[in-house]
Amino acid sequence: MRFTILLALLALPALAAGQQSGDGKPTATDNNCIRCHSRLMKNYALPAQRYHDDIHADNGVLCSDCHGGDPTNPNRHDRKDPKQNFRGKPTPQQIPGLCGHCHGDPVYMRAHNPKLPVDQLEKYRTSRHGELLLGKGDPKPAQCVSCHSVHDIRQVGNPASKVYPTNVPGTCAACHADEKYMADYGIPTNQYALFRNSVHGEALLGREDTGAPACNDCHGNHGAYPPEVQNIAQVCGLCHVRNDKLYEASFHSSIFESIGVSGCVTCHANHGIRHPVDDMLGAGDRATCGKCHRDGQDDPGFALGLEMKGVLDGLSHQLDSTTSLVDKAAKYGMEVSELQFDLRDIRQSLIESRTSIHSFDTDEVRKSAAPGLALAAKVDTLAGQSLAEHGKRRWWLGGATLVLLSVIAGVIMLLRQVERK
Helices 300-331 and 337-356, packing angle to 10 deg: 170
Please give the Cα distance from 103 to 116 (Å, whole number): 8
Find all residues with CB under 8 Å of 52, minimum gap 6, and list them: 29
Identify the weakest region by mean pLDDT among 208-212, 327-331, 417-421.
417-421
Angle at 309 between CA 304 and CA 310, to 5 degrees: 95
Give the end-to-end CA distance of the chain in Å, rounded to a whole number.
115
Q: How confident is the model at residue 34 (pLDDT cuts 50, 70, 90)?
A: confident
Q: Is 41 left (phi over 0), alpha (psi -120 to 50) or beta?
A: beta
Section 11-28 average pLDDT: 43
pLDDT of res. 251: 93
For the cut 80, the answer to whether the pLDDT of residue 43 exceeds it is yes
pLDDT (tens digit per residue) in 274-327: 999 999 998 888 889 888 888 777 888 889 999 999 999 999 999 999 999 999
The DSSP output letter for 275 is: P
For residue 178, which of 166, 191, 168 has the smallest C-alpha distance? 191
Q: What are phi and psi of 250, to 5 degrees?
A: -90, 165
pLDDT (tens digit per residue) in 214-270: 999 999 999 998 877 667 878 899 999 999 999 999 999 999 888 888 889 999 999
pLDDT (tens digit per residue) in 287-300: 898 888 887 778 88
pLDDT of res. 26: 47
Q: Is 98 within 8 Å of 148 (Cβ atoms)?
A: no
For residue 120, which of 170, 163, 175, 65 has the smallest C-alpha distance? 163
Q: How confident is the model at residue 375 (pLDDT cuts 50, 70, 90)?
A: very high
Angle at 190 between CA 236 and CA 182, to 5 degrees: 110
- Give how far the C-alpha of residue 11 lies from the chain's centroid of Cα atoms, to the nearest Å: 52
Rg for the chain, CA atoms, rounded: 35
- For 248, the enclosing helix (H) or strand (E) is helix 241-248
For the cut 90, the answer to whether the pLDDT of residue 11 exceeds it is no
Q: How confident is the model at residue 370 (pLDDT cuts 50, 70, 90)?
A: very high
